[in-house]
Amino acid sequence: MATASKVQLSLGERPEFYLKNIKRESATRTSHLLQENHEKHHIFFNQSGFHNHIAHHLLTIYSLAATPAQIQKHYDENQDYQRPPQPIEAAIVKGMEDPSQFTKYLGKERYYNDYLRFFQSEMDKKGWQQVLNEYVFAGDDRADDMLARMFAGFLHPIIHLGFGIEFHQPAIIAEGLAQAAVHDVWMMPLFDGAEKAAKHLSGPSKSVVELLDITHAEKRLAKAADVDGNRIRDGIMKTETQRIIDIVSQYHISSPAELEERTAEMTNAAAYFSGAAQRRDKAVKFDFFYMHCINSSIFFSAFLKQDWLSDANKVRLLEWKVRNDITLYASRGCPDLLIDEISNYKPSKPSSENTDPWHEIIERVKNFSDDGHGSKLVRALVHGQQICKPYETNEDFRIKEDMWLQLGHMAIDSVEGGEPTWVRSAGFDSAWEKVPDRPRAQL
């Protein structure tokens, strides 16, 4: 049985997207390796805050029916550079029961393992659902602070939390909470400002793609993001805070009845700007930061199914996600979004007509050696196709029908295409300097 300190996958508990031929041996091997990662490794593999992605990677390829050998291979390739956990200080863990002491250590990676032990203890006493409602979704100052930290680090804490919820693993949820606790909270002015501004707006919400178009036209946002350092914190949030708040606050959800379609809309828009941010003269590459927006989308479908999470919090989560995505789009220089780059893409290995068109893409990405970003991207795209299908006649859903498969081919071809695997900040020329030129015949 899975607990706050033990990872135990069960074939009977299905994630959002999975292949039906998962073997029991794969569940056993994945559980064992995730437990080892849980006990032996820090959530950051270096002092610069680079994330340990082992849990993401193994859970993703497990859901894609990876064999025990494939799961072991990817673990071995990524475990040797991980950091060991730092010693736990029992007095600090105990003291975190006092709200004033809980906040004392926030944002300090040194205390990741102390927060991990604290949240495990809280879950043992209250259950993980109650802990999340108390520490993330209560709506008080402490919970709102934690919710904002969930979106820090380019969505890594909420991705980690999402994996824990989707795969029914309290130990992974505890890791996600502790990871959020040691991230920064500088995104809070955006979320708080947009929430307050939205209350004073009348009329219907703008769609996500309408707001992407508005953001693209605001050349001053791209200029603000052209800085050394963090392009959101040190760029847009430093000089254009009010303008980005004015834009993202125009997105709001009027009723929980909209949630299913709005979740699909968010997923569609994330796939659109992640895939269409290309350069016609360069090989196809996905922006590293945008890729996290589509990779995280799958968990918002999982959040909708949680009966312990209130409708009001489901609405709030999705509003914050969309506002984060639009801000992230702006922060990479508001690149042109060339949708014909998706619709006209020529795959290096077209899908076979005799099998599931995704089969070969999934097989290739299960064997691709990275830290899991590639496999997460492919799984999120397959899931996106499924949840967006009922809404494809809506003009605000710009990714339609076979364009999802095209994106899948673009994803696997791009990561298999050599370095750089990703571009970073696709709206700036410097991001593309080391990307190979596109063959003249394809121009």
Residue whose pair of structure tokens reads 């990871």 in the numeric block: 179
Q: With the CA atoms of 345, 350, 353 and 358 taken in that order, what torsion angle do they form, in degrees rounded to the nearest 10?
A: -80
What is the mean pLDDT of the segment spanning 392-411? 97
* Alpha-carbon distances of 331 from 46, 193, 235, 289, 376, rounded to whole Å: 25, 18, 8, 9, 22
**pLDDT higher than threshold 80 for residue 142:** yes
- Closest by CA to 190, choosing from 246, 257, 108, is 246
pLDDT tens-digit series, residues 279-317: 999 999 999 999 999 999 999 999 999 999 999 999 999
Q: Write phi, then psi, for 402 (nearest 5 degrees).
A: -70, -5
Return the percent helix, strand and coil in the chain, to nearest 5: 60, 0, 40
Q: Does the pLDDT of residue 441 top 60, yes or no?
A: no
Q: Residue count of the chain, please give it.
A: 443
- pLDDT score at 294: 98
Q: Is the model's pLDDT at 125 over the cut of 70?
A: yes
**77, 37 in Cβ contact below 8 A?**
no
Q: What is the pLDDT of residue 328?
A: 98
Measured CA angle at 318 (ends 205, 311), to 5 deg: 95
Average pLDDT, the chain: 97
How many C-beta atoms surround the C-beta of residue 3 within 10 A? Answer: 15
Q: What is the mean pLDDT of residues 387-401?
A: 97
Question: What Å distances lie between residue 152 and 64, 137, 432, CA to CA?
Answer: 28, 16, 25
153: which 2 tokens?
């680090």
Percent of the chain with pLDDT over 90: 96
Backbone angles phi, psi at 229, to 5 degrees: 100, -155
pLDDT of residue 306: 98
- Poorest-pLDDT segment among 2-11, 85-94, 349-358: 349-358
Burial-class residue 428 by CB neighbours within 10 Å (0-12, 13-18, 19+): middle
358 HSE (CA, 13 A, CB side): 23
Q: Is the pLDDT score of 49 beyond 90? A: no
Which residue matches tokens 């695997």? 421
Query: Residue 266: pLDDT above 90?
Result: yes
Quote the pLDDT of residue 349: 96
Confidence (pLDDT) at 8: 98
C-alpha dihedral over 379, 385, 387, 391, to 10 degrees? 160
Q: Is the pLDDT score of 355 beyond 90?
A: no
The three-point CA angle 327-108-318 to 5° equals 30
For tokens 């791009």, the residue is: 414
| Amino acid residing at 320 | W
Which distant-in-sequence residues (6+ apart) come within 8 Å of 202 by Cβ?
A: none
Name the 3-class secondary structure at 44.
strand
d(C-alpha 194, C-alpha 190), whole Å: 6
Does the pLDDT value for residue 209 go beyond 80?
Answer: yes
Q: What is the mean pLDDT of residues 37-56?
A: 94
